[in-house]
Chain A
Amino acid sequence: MTLLRVENLQKSFGSLNVTRDVTLDVQAGEKHVIIGPNGAGKTSLINQIGGQMMPDSGRVLIDGVDATRLAPEQRARLGLGRTFQKNTLFQRLSVFENVRLGVQARFGNSFDLAQKADSRTDVNARAREVLDLLRLTALAERRVASISYGDQRQLEIAVALAGDPRILLLDEPTSGLSPAETGQLIEIIRSLPARLGILMIEHDMEVVFSLADHITVLYYGEVLASDKPEAVAVNERVREVYLGASI
């Protein structure tokens, strides 16, 4: 089942074409990885899917619904969750509250003025479940600003998962992590719900080839190749411009 479809997406800033006729799709349960050298337009593409940036033309379909002109919050309500390359968290709130707000967005009622937020036991229980899944339970009461960068990276995913999305966009989840932390994060991504469709940007080739079901290579805003990992690894053009001799 196609959860996310990007069709002929175009975006330019003046003469700079950051996205050139990009088409790709993500199936339920698929881990689709986008790779490409710096400046290939990976984050711009993710931002156009998330709604943080508007494309010039082309379409974004979330679960069959045309979301091209929808605001980020409307896309989230269609089942799209995302993380950011640069941590986008509630720095001064607790780890638990960060995830709780994510759960509340989907399962709570944010216009309820009377009932205490603490008394929504269903919301709290789901928040604890997500913390467990991301191995953050021990840090629940800590303020985000006081936990390590690696833990913040994990929390970034926890917050995005809190609302139980069907599609998850991960913008370089391992950026800035130590090899040990990267290893743990791969384990966590592997343990995510099987039906979840994941579209992620990744630089670390080891991570890419250990996780990906499908790889799309971007080069100057254009899709250079989009195929199974085995096929991408031996693709002549990809080797030429990007992978070099490293594989």
Chain B
Amino acid sequence: MSVPRVDPLPTRIPGRKPLVGEFAFFVIALAWPFLVGSYGTGLITETLIFAIAAMSLDLLMGYGGLVSFGHAAFFGVGAYALALSGVKLGLNPWAGILIAVVTSAVAALVIGYFCVRVSGVAFFMLTLAFGQLLYSGAVKWRGITGGSDGVGGFARPQLAGVSLDDPMYMYFACLLAFALSLWLLRRIIGSQFGHALVGLRENETRMRALGYSTDRLKLCAFVISGMFAGFSGALYAIYNSFISPDALSFAQSGMFLLMVVLGGVGSLVGPAIGAAVFLLMKQFVSSHTEHWLLIVGLVFICCVMFFRSGIYGFLKQWRERGARA
């Protein structure tokens, strides 16, 4: 009896799989700064930072089935928390990262408390509304946030004479942060909580009839997702030495959604690939035409129409087809 082919995405929960892909990735990633110039290194540093945010959104969206259009809120809160803890409180930037994660967790707890009560389009709209609320807060509250001028002039973290001012060290720090986030998120998805989250995505009525507190599960996912987004935001602020309300804008939220869908919903690795493809596209297309968003839009439409499971899903299907032939 032949075993029916399992849809590659987003049905599977990662179990034991050969780690060839990951291994190859980290070998190349470690050699990367020595192979390309500082421009290439900076580009990949940014990709790694955004990949963390995209993966965190995937936890909510791909595994929990909760499509949020306000993910930039937590990214931005993390970024501002890091910047302001340095500029206003004069704190060490390492403590700033911790504060960023905690602050975004608290923001996610408060916002999530309201959002998880609704689902579908209402959830989507409510997350958007909260995102816009924080955005206008950052623009209007000039005394603290500097309004649209943003916040700059905070120190980058240092450790034992090594400073993240050096792009090379910044790159390796982000690589480490990315690896750590991927490992943690996978671990969470493989846990009982992760399995319950997938159950929620598949059938909420059944989950409730089984005795699951679905609102609490959703809130927990929302907070974890927000924490990783905040972590990513803190790294982004460090990388740029500057933060402006753009990081909180709905365009930023849309960008995270695009990365996830482009790369492949519910696979973690997919959204990371999505982040890379999106930023590379932005980089190369925008150097040729100012209408780069038009091209990104077209690619996105093609992706949604022809590769429903994103780039990662497509690659996986292609490989499986190759293996069968």
Chain A residues within CB distance 8 Å of chain B? 50-52, 71-74, 76-77, 81-82, 84, 88-93, 97, 100-102, 104-106, 108-118, 120, 123, 141-143, 146, 159-160, 162-163
Nearest-neighbor residue (CB-CB) of B16 within chain A: A118
Q: How far is the CB of A47 from chain B (nearest CB, A)?
A: 10
Q: Within the complex, which residue of B6, B196, B210 is in contact with A163, where a contact is CB–CB below 8 Å?
A: B210
> Which residues of chain B in 65-109 are interfacial with respect to chain A, using CB atoms and an 8 Å cutoff?
none
- Given known contacts A77-B211, A110-B212, is B196 in contact with A101 (CB within 8 Å)? yes
13 A-B pairs with C-beta separation under 8 A = A73-B207, A73-B212, A77-B211, A88-B209, A90-B198, A110-B212, A111-B220, A113-B188, A116-B191, A117-B192, A118-B15, A120-B192, A142-B4
Q: Within the complex, which residue of A84, A92, A111, A120 is in contact with B11, where a contact is CB–CB below 8 Å?
A: A92
B210 touches A159 (CB 8 A): yes
A110 touches B217 (CB 8 A): yes
B297 within 8 A of A: no
Q: How far is the CB of A220 from chain B (nearest CB, A)?
A: 27
CA distance A82 to B199 in the complex (A): 17
Most B CB within 10 A of own CB, among A106, A117, A160: A117
Nearest-neighbor residue (CB-CB) of B213 within chain A: A73
B203 touches A89 (CB 8 A): yes
B211 touches A163 (CB 8 A): yes
Q: Within the complex, which residue of B3, B195, B207, B217 is in contact with A97, where a contact is CB–CB below 8 Å?
A: B195
Chain A residues with Cβ below 8 Å from B166 are none
Chain A residues with Cβ below 8 Å from B117 are none
Known: A73-B211, A112-B191, A113-B194. 9 other contacts (CB 8 A): A73-B207, A77-B211, A91-B203, A108-B192, A110-B212, A111-B192, A118-B15, A118-B190, A163-B210
B193 within 8 A of A: yes
Q: How far is the CB of B185 from chain A (nearest CB, A)?
A: 10
- Size class of the B contact interface (CB-based, 8 Å): 20 to 34
B191 touches A115 (CB 8 A): yes
B195 touches A117 (CB 8 A): yes
Chain B residues with Cβ below 8 Å from A160 are 209
B205 within 8 A of A: yes
Most A CB within 10 A of own CB, among B195, B210, B214: B210
B4 touches A159 (CB 8 A): no
A90 touches B210 (CB 8 A): no
B210 touches A105 (CB 8 A): yes
B202 touches A104 (CB 8 A): no
> Which residues of chain B in 204-259 are interfacial with respect to chain A, using CB atoms and an 8 Å cutoff?
205-214, 216-217, 220, 224
Q: Within the complex, which residue of A77, A81, A101, A116 is in contact with B199, where a contact is CB–CB below 8 Å?
A: A101
Q: How far is the CB of A76 from chain B (nearest CB, A)?
A: 3
A100 touches B195 (CB 8 A): yes
Q: Please list the 7 inter-chain residue pairs (A to B) with the smallest Cβ-Cβ separation, ordered nearest first.
A: A76-B211, A90-B202, A105-B210, A92-B11, A110-B196, A72-B208, A146-B4
Chain B residues with Cβ below 8 Å from A109 are 192
Q: How far is the CB of A112 from chain B (nearest CB, A)?
A: 5
Chain A residues with Cβ below 8 Å from B290 are none
Chain A residues with Cβ below 8 Å from B191 are 112-117
Chain A residues with Cβ below 8 Å from B194 are 113, 117
- Given known contacts A89-B206, A105-B210, A143-B4, is B192 in contact with A110 (CB within 8 Å)? yes
CA distance A118 to B15 in the complex (A): 9
Interface mask (B169-210 → A, CB under 8 Å = 1, otherwise 0): 000000000000000000110111111101100110111111
Q: How far is the CB of B289 from chain A (nearest CB, A)?
A: 41
Q: Within the complex, which residue of B15, B202, B203, B211 is in contact with A105, where a contact is CB–CB below 8 Å?
A: B211
Nearest-neighbor residue (CB-CB) of B187 within chain A: A114
Interface mask (B139-176 → A, CB under 8 Å = 1, otherwise 0): 00000000000000000000000000000000000000
A76 touches B209 (CB 8 A): yes
CA distance A143 to B192 in the complex (A): 19
Q: Within the complex, which residue of A106, A120, A159 is in contact with B206, where a contact is CB–CB below 8 Å?
A: A159
Chain A residues with Cβ below 8 Å from B206 are 88-90, 159
A93 touches B198 (CB 8 A): yes
CA distance A1 to B198 in the complex (A): 38
Nearest-neighbor residue (CB-CB) of A156 within chain B: B206
A91 touches B209 (CB 8 A): no
Q: How far is the CB of B235 from chain A (nearest CB, A)?
A: 22
CA distance A142 to B6 in the complex (A): 9
Q: Within the complex, which residue of B11, B198, B210, B224 is in contact with A143, where a contact is CB–CB below 8 Å?
A: B11
- Given known contacts A101-B210, A116-B190, is B199 in contact with A52 (CB within 8 Å)? no
Chain A residues with Cβ below 8 Å from B3 are 141-142
